């Protein structure tokens, strides 16, 4: 998964506190260790997290370690990136994508 210190790993136990109760927008990267496209997306997620400090919270969810959250939000493919704000899902993008496309979701 990502290596930026500005990316917070979350799981089934912490998703509500870290994402749903967050103030401001939250970019949620649903991925898995075994997923090649997820690993390709990791540096993009890191750059967004580093460049958007204080504006956007960035978290990662390993779908193997947080199966309840993945099912709850209908994650059927990895990577899937969702934008949450005010406890609600606002946008979603499935598959490997660009930094610009992810920023456009915000």
The catalytic residue positions are 35, 38
Burial class for 40, CB neighbours closer than 10 Å (0-12, 13-18, 19+): exposed
Residues 6 or more apart whose Cβ sits within 8 Å of residue 14? none
Contact (Cβ atoms closer than 8 angstroms) between residue 7 and residue 45: yes
Regarding beta strands 26-31 and 80-85, do their DSSP bridges make them parallel or antiparallel, or are they unpaired? antiparallel
């Amino acid at each position: 998964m990502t290596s930026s210190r500005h990316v917070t790993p979350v799981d089934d136990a912490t998703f509500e506190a870290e994402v749903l109760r967050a103030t401001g927008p939250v970019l949620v990267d649903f991925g898995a260790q075994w997923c090649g496209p997820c690993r390709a997306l990791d540096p993009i997620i890191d750059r967004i997290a580093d460049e958007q400090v204080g504006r956007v919270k960035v978290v990662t969810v390993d779908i193997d370690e947080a199966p309840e959250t993945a099912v709850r939000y209908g994650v059927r493919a990895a990577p899937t990136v969702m934008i949450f704000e005010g406890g609600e899902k606002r946008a979603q993008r499935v598959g490997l994508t660009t930094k610009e496309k992810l920023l456009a979701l915000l």
